[in-house]
Amino acid sequence: MPPFRPERLPPLSLLIGGLWLLAVATALVGLGDLPLRDWDEGIVARVALETSQAPWSKKLLPTYWGEPYLNKPPGLHLLIAAAIGLWRGLTDSPVTALPPEWVVRLVPALLSTALVPLLAAIQWRLRPGDRLSALATGAIALTLLPLARHGRLAMLDGCQLVAMALIWWALLGAKAHRPRLLRWGLVAGLGGTALLLLKAPTALPVLLMALGLRLLDRDLGRRDWAWLLAALAVGLLPGLAWHGFHGLARGDGALHMWTSQGFARLSQPMEGHGGGALEPVLEVLEGGWPWLPLWPFGLGLAWRQRSRQAGRWCLGLTLGTALLVLPLRTQLPWYSLLLWPSFALVCGPVFAWLVARGRELRPPGTRLLARLPRLWSLIGAAGLLAAGLAVWGVFGLSAAHGLLALALGLGLLLGGRGLVSRRSQQRLAGGLGTVAGVWLSLLLLMASPLWLWELNESWRTPGVARMLQERGVSGPVRIWQESERPSLNWYAGRRIRGADRSSDLLSGAAPGPALLSRQAPGREELHCRQLEQGESLGLYRCRPESDSRDHARTVAAPDPHS
């Protein structure tokens, strides 16, 4: 059998398009099957809904429950508001109707899929002619669980990664030719505008990091840089114009998204979210499988090629994004998403070498690297064992767990065995099998109720919202000794704050507010009690139903003696 040659593959654009279609399928399957989660989804959805209801003259000044929303710029909220408006027009729904979850998540889910082809295109520019490395980079981005999962949520982070990758891709395309400098400088500026309208404080460090790496390439003269920076500035104008308008309209409050919601996270934990540099490191160690063992070899290859553009950019982007995340005193699990694009760029060429074993691209430690697929085969065998245990219900594993383990186990077992072969065609089949198994397991995960596991951290909010509506609770409502739940606010159509003291309940309330509380700490049962003049007028018990979608709660008959 003749040796495998990457040039015999179909056109690169066709293959990258195929990867993007797989990413779209992963993003859309089961998108509306689960309720919105706290915190970001509930807040983003409410801001977008109010934006869709606002007159055109006020859509650029977002609000949250009628008050100025100063946390984030409205870039994504405006797009979600447009989707809500389109849904409302197609379904003849009233302005006050809540859109389904898939409508809220649709825009960020689709936009986030652009990261897969963008990273493949960036690798192609870093390593011209190396189609296999470009495809491997896209395949790794496609099959990373953190990217696939968070990209589906109504959050800003997936779109932020796309804007960041767009800047990298555009600056790498800016060559010493005026039309190219103007074209790609403008695209990079528009990527900066996207960051300014998503998470403004990240725009400056991301642009400086990319421009610094482009400067180290030493292939542009002073006049070239002048044209590039001029086009970049033009592309930044829309984002800068909105921030200027926002400052004029809201004064000092407009600085909130730059200070307490931005740079303050460098110096102090916000809202109890500490953890330091250890938390993003743990997120990478947990979320990078099965590609994590490739990372050290990829960094070694980048260091070996540090005098070339490919090695310099892989090292620079890894270090730069780490410096954006690790020093933060405020840490949330999705902050580590900034690390994954450079991770895919570093690991892509190593995975390509496992398939092609070419001499022109030899990572350090190739003897150990060549044995790595045996580890994947071992993990695959463990996955098949887990699938068998799920059939018998051992360790509480469900049928959904069994299907995931079966797909992942078969892919890693057969793919790992193919990648250790001496025959290039079998290694290609092994690489395809590994990617296919991991992707299929992700697809099954997203189609199941398992992908949004944060919903299991506390009581589900849709059922509680229905309970309030069914009982006709029209006055103020408070949650006793628990924090506010933005998703509960969304489903209830009202803002329900937390209360820790009796003064929080009765101040300014006539009649007294309804109180949501647990019967005992850690219990799933909730009570709804109407308070008036310090007395309890009614007690309603919320019990979980057997509804697998959102574990809604029903309301028992009120106890007149409670």
Run means of pLDDT, 10 residues per run, the chain, 562 residues? 61 93 96 92 96 93 94 95 96 93 97 98 95 96 96 95 97 91 96 95 94 94 94 97 95 83 57 68 91 96 94 96 86 86 97 86 89 94 89 76 91 94 91 96 94 87 86 78 88 85 53 61 55 39 36 31 32
pTM comes to 0.89
Per-residue pLDDT tens for 156-194? 999 999 999 999 999 999 988 889 999 999 999 999 999
CA gap 110, 28 in Å, rounded? 8
Of 92, 71, 435, 88, the closest CA to residue 265 belongs to 71
Angle at CA of residue 130, ends 124 and 132, nearest 5°:
95
Q: Which of 122, 106, 211, 207 is nearest to 159 (CA)?
A: 106
pLDDT for res 551: 34
pLDDT of residue 547: 38
Burial of 517 (0-12, 13-18, 19+ CB in 10 A): middle
Query: How long a stretch of residues is the chain?
Result: 562
- What is the rounded end-to-end Cα distance, in angstroms, of the chain? 82
Collect all residues with Cβ–Cβ distance below 8 Å to 374 and sequence separation of at least 6.
416, 420
368-422 per-position pLDDT tens digit: 999 999 999 999 999 999 888 887 777 677 888 888 999 999 999 999 999 999 8
Give the per-residue pLDDT at 467: 85
Using CA atoms, how far residue 417 sits from 135, 386, 422, 489, 517, in Å, is: 21, 19, 11, 51, 55
- What's the pLDDT at 68? 94
pLDDT for 537 equals 29
63 φψ region: left (φ > 0), alpha (ψ -120 to 50), beta (else) = beta
Q: How far apart are CA 110 and CA 342, in angstroms?
A: 21
Q: What's the pLDDT score for residue 533?
A: 43
Q: Are 257 and 200 in contact (CB under 8 A)?
A: yes
From the list 199, 204, 134, the residue with the least C-alpha distance to 169 is: 134
